[in-house]
Amino acid sequence: MNASTHVQKPWNYCNILRDEGLSYGDYVEQFTFLLFLKMADENTKPPFDQKPIIEAPWNWPVLLTLDADPLERHHHNTLEALGKADGVIGVIFHKAQNKIQDPAKLKRLIVDLIDKEQWSLLDTDLKGDAYEGLLQKSAEDVKGGAGQYFTPRALIQGIVEVMNLQPGETICDPACGTAGFLLAAHTELRKRKLGKAQLTHLNTQALTGVELVDSVARLACMNLVLHGVGAADTHIVPVQVRDALSGKHGELDVILANPPFGKKSSVTITSDDG
């Protein structure tokens, strides 16, 4: 099964929720919450056998046991509780709201779509590309999509290629949107013959995004995690939710943005106060 198939199936469910008044962007956001919970549960089982990062009562198995109004109330409480967490979980669920008001449709999305697939067993490129496909479809919805955060991929690719990125460099997009530039940089660098240490650096330290809008930051963070950047079970957070002009970025080698900012041997960005 290819990425387009994995895009089309969840996208078909969007039409079911249109009666709820959800935009395409809202749908992808709601899908993201549930997908994260499902994958967190999958990772506690073979062949992964990882320590749970989301405990009961906020984990996926509890959602599966509920129906009707109790499901809607519990899902609301789950989003609120996880929004107070640290790390990647906190970024994904920060200020999250359940916008699927019909419990029957929420149950259908949980049971008929998300629970039937073993998402964590999919190839990283496949599930990452599938999620990227959902973001692109959302961006094409000019009324309510994420078009303003979604730079055309051909433009991104051209900018990344002329930057001549090198393994070991630290790369930042200070207005990352849904993380298109960072993922293009990740793809470009993976074409090189990377050693184990270089690959670890690429996946955990090389890429950083900054995004002011909570709803977009969560999509960017999920997009990166699905592509193997960062990890949901650590405090390595590939996307910071803040104004890019506030706080301190530290030492950077490359700033990727539209339009391209540039590349120096070392770039430091700080606010006036630090």
Provide mean pLDDT across the span 142-149.
Answer: 50
pLDDT tens digit sequence for 211-250:
988 888 999 999 898 888 876 666 678 898 887 766 555 6
Are 63 and 78 in contact, with CB atoms under 8 Å apart?
yes
Longest dimension (CA), the chain: 57
Q: With pLDDT > 70 as the criterion, what percentage of the chain qualifies?
A: 82
Residue 242 lies in a domain: yes
**Mean pLDDT rounded to a whole number for the chain:** 82
d(CA 34, CA 111): 11
d(CA 126, CA 6): 8
d(CA 175, CA 206): 16
Per-residue model confidence (pLDDT) at position 156: 85
Provide mean pLDDT across the span 66-79.
Answer: 95
Tell me the residue type at 79: L
Rounded to whole angstroms, what are the CA distances from 263 to 65, 81, 246, 249, 256? 52, 40, 21, 15, 8
Q: Look up residue 253 and give its DSSP letter.
A: E
Q: Containing domain of residue 232, as a range?
A: 151-266
The CATH number for 76's domain is 1.20.1260.30
Are 183 and 208 in contact, with CB atoms under 8 Å apart?
no
Per-residue model confidence (pLDDT) at position 32: 92
d(CA 256, CA 263): 8
Domain termination site, one of 113, 139, 165:
139
Q: Lowest-pLDDT range, 13-17, 27-31, 128-132? A: 13-17
Residue 272 lies in a domain: no
Angle in degrees, CA 226, 229, 42, rounded to 5: 40
**Does residue 45 carry a pLDDT above 80?**
yes
Tell me, yes or no, whether 108 and 216 share the same domain.
no
Global pTM reads 0.83
Tell me, yes or no, whether 124 and 157 share the same domain.
no
Per-residue model confidence (pLDDT) at position 249: 55
**Does residue 266 carry a pLDDT above 70?**
no
Q: In the chain, how many domains are there? A: 2
3-state secondary structure of 248: strand
Tell me, yes or no, whether 132 and 156 share the same domain.
no
Tell me the residue type at 100: I
d(CA 254, CA 185): 10
Q: Which residue has the higher pLDDT, 11 or 122?
A: 122
Per-residue model confidence (pLDDT) at position 262: 52
